[in-house]
């Protein structure tokens, strides 16, 4: 007898199986593309000096990461440049956005300069930034900060300016001050948009650091890729390019993790878990208070 005729509710498929079958089409498509690429190289349809086979790229990845380990120093140099530049650009962008949200006069003077900075191509700024900050790591951090500044600034300002008027009215009716409204209403409302800008800013900071390395540097994945490309070692060049993609994914998923932790109210499961933790903490506090009251009563007796 089937589950439907017997009145029983069918069991839900395991989460692992759902994830597997969800990713299966992507795995099959990726395998087909790699297989076609490898076959085209094996049958001589591709110029292997310019477009190496996936097997050649895999050998280069093994060499870079496990044989000589030459990728690690360059990888962490670029990672440091991108993260440091992003932190500087994000701090400046958030600070100016907060000031612009609080003061219309401040916003009127700051916004045009931010727009001009955004429409100026980052590649065009590279020679000037290198001339100002030198050939060392400072120029890479500076360019990463400049490029990552605008998305953080715009998203933060947009989030802070779009608070719900009904909730604003409720805060006013409860006698909340402007400071309390800003901290307890406008900032939480803005956080989803702010984190969207931080994700964009993080990836653009990586782009800025690598562009500066292409222009002038002695270490970093941009320099490493340039060296391999000039030597027509395209397998190693593509392996280095994949390392850049890996770095971008790591930074993006780091921001996804922080977004999930800070903007917890968008997830019902996280809201429920937070409510359970608060209920347990309140119950413990009540138990301690009750025990203390009992002890005091006994002492008085």
Q: What is the pLDDT of residues 94-109, one digit of tens each?
A: 999 999 988 888 888 8
Confidence label for 18 from pLDDT (cuts 50, 70 and 90): low
Rounded-to-integer distance, Cα 238 and Cα 58, Å = 10
Q: Would you state the pLDDT for residue 1?
A: 47
What is the pLDDT, as a whole number, of residue 210?
92
Mean per-residue pLDDT of the chain: 84
Mean pLDDT of 123-137: 86
pLDDT of residue 31: 87
User: In the chain, where are the structural domains located?
Assistant: 54-266
The string of pLDDT tens digits covering residues 183-203 is 888 888 888 899 999 999 999
- 19 pLDDT band (50/70/90 cuts)? low
CB environment 61-97: b (16+ within 10 A), e (fewer)? bebbeeeeeebeebbebbbebbbbbbbbbbebbbebb
pLDDT over 50 (residue 9) = no
Q: Is the pLDDT of residue 38 over 90?
A: no
Question: Rounded to an integer, what distance in angstroms lies between the CA atom of residue 225 and that of residue 234?
Answer: 9
Q: Is the pLDDT of residue 6 over 70?
A: no
- Three-class secondary structure assignment of the chain: CCHHHHCCCCCCCCHHHHHHHHHHHHHHHHHHHHHHHHHHHHCCCCCCCCCCCHHHHHHHHHHHHHHCCCHHHHHHHHHHHHHHHHHHHHHHHHHHHHHHHHCHHHHHHHHHHHHHHHHCCHHHHHHHHHHHHCCCHHHHHHHHHHHHHHHHHHHHHHHHHCCCHHHHHHHHHCCCCHHHHHHHHHHHHHHHHHHHHHHHHHHHHHHHHHHHHHHCCCCCHHHHHHHHHHCCCHHHHHHHHHHHHHHHHHHHHHHHHHHHHHCHHHCHHHHHHHHHHHHHHHHHHHHHHHHHHHHHHHHHC
Give me the CATH code for the 54-266 domain, please: 1.10.3720.10
Q: What is the mean pLDDT of residues 69-83?
A: 92
145 pLDDT more than 70: yes
Asked whether residue 250 carries a pLDDT value surpassing 80, the answer given is yes
pLDDT band for 243, please (50, 70, 90 cuts).
very high
Please report the pLDDT score of residue 301 as a whole number: 62
Q: Residue 4 has what pLDDT?
A: 46
- In this predicted structure, the answer to whether residue 240 has a pLDDT above a threshold of 90 is yes
Would you state the pLDDT for residue 223? 92
- List, for residues 42-53, the tens digit of each pLDDT value: 888 888 788 889
pLDDT higher at 148 or 21: 148
Contact predicate 158/103, CB 8 Å: no
Confidence band for 299, pLDDT divided at 50, 70 and 90 = low
Specify the pLDDT at position 245.
92
Rank 77-81, 256-260, 286-290 by mean pLDDT and report only the highest: 77-81
Dist CA 32 CA 30 (whole Å): 5
Other CB atoms within 10 Å distance of the CB of residue 294: 10
The CA distance from 103 to 28, in Å, is 54
| Residue tagged 């027509």 (tokens) | 232
Per the model's pLDDT, the better-predicted residue between 164 and 233 turns out to be: 233
How many of the other CB atoms lie within 10 Å of CB of 129? Answer: 23
């Amino acid at each position: 007898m089937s589950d439907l005729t017997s009145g029983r509710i069918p069991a839900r498929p395991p989460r692992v199986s759902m994830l597997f079958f969800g990713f299966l089409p992507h795995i099959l498509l990726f395998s087909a593309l790699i297989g076609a690429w490898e076959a085209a190289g094996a049958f001589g349809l591709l110029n292997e000096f310019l477009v190496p086979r996936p097997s050649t790229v895999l050998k280069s990845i093994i060499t870079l990461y496990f044989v000589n380990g030459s990728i690690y120093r360059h990888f962490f140099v670029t990672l440091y440049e991108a993260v440091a530049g992003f932190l500087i650009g994000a701090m400046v962008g958030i600070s100016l956005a907060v000031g612009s949200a609080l003061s219309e006069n401040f916003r009127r003077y700051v916004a045009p300069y931010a727009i001009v900075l955004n429409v100026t191509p980052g590649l065009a700024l590279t020679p000037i930034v290198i001339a100002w900050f030198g050939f060392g790591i400072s120029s890479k951090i500076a360019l990463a900060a400049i490029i990552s500044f605008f998305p953080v600034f715009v998203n933060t300002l947009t989030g802070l300016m779009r608070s719900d008027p009904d909730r604003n009215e409720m805060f006013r009716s409860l006698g909340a001050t402007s400071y309390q409204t800003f901290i307890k209403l406008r900032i939480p409302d803005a956080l989803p948009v702010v984190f969207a800008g931080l994700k964009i800013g993080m990836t653009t900071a990586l782009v800025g650091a690598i562009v500066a390395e292409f222009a002038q540097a002695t270490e970093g994945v941009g320099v490493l890729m340039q060296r391999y490309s000039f030597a027509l070692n395209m397998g190693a060049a593509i392996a280095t390019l994949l390392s850049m993609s890996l770095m971008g994914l790591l930074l993006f998923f780091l921001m996804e993790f922080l977004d999930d932790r800070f903007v917890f109210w968008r997830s019902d499961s996280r809201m429920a878990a937070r409510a359970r933790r608060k209920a347990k903490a309140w119950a413990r506090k009540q138990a301690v208070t009750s025990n203390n009251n009992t002890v005091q009563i006994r002492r008085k007796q």
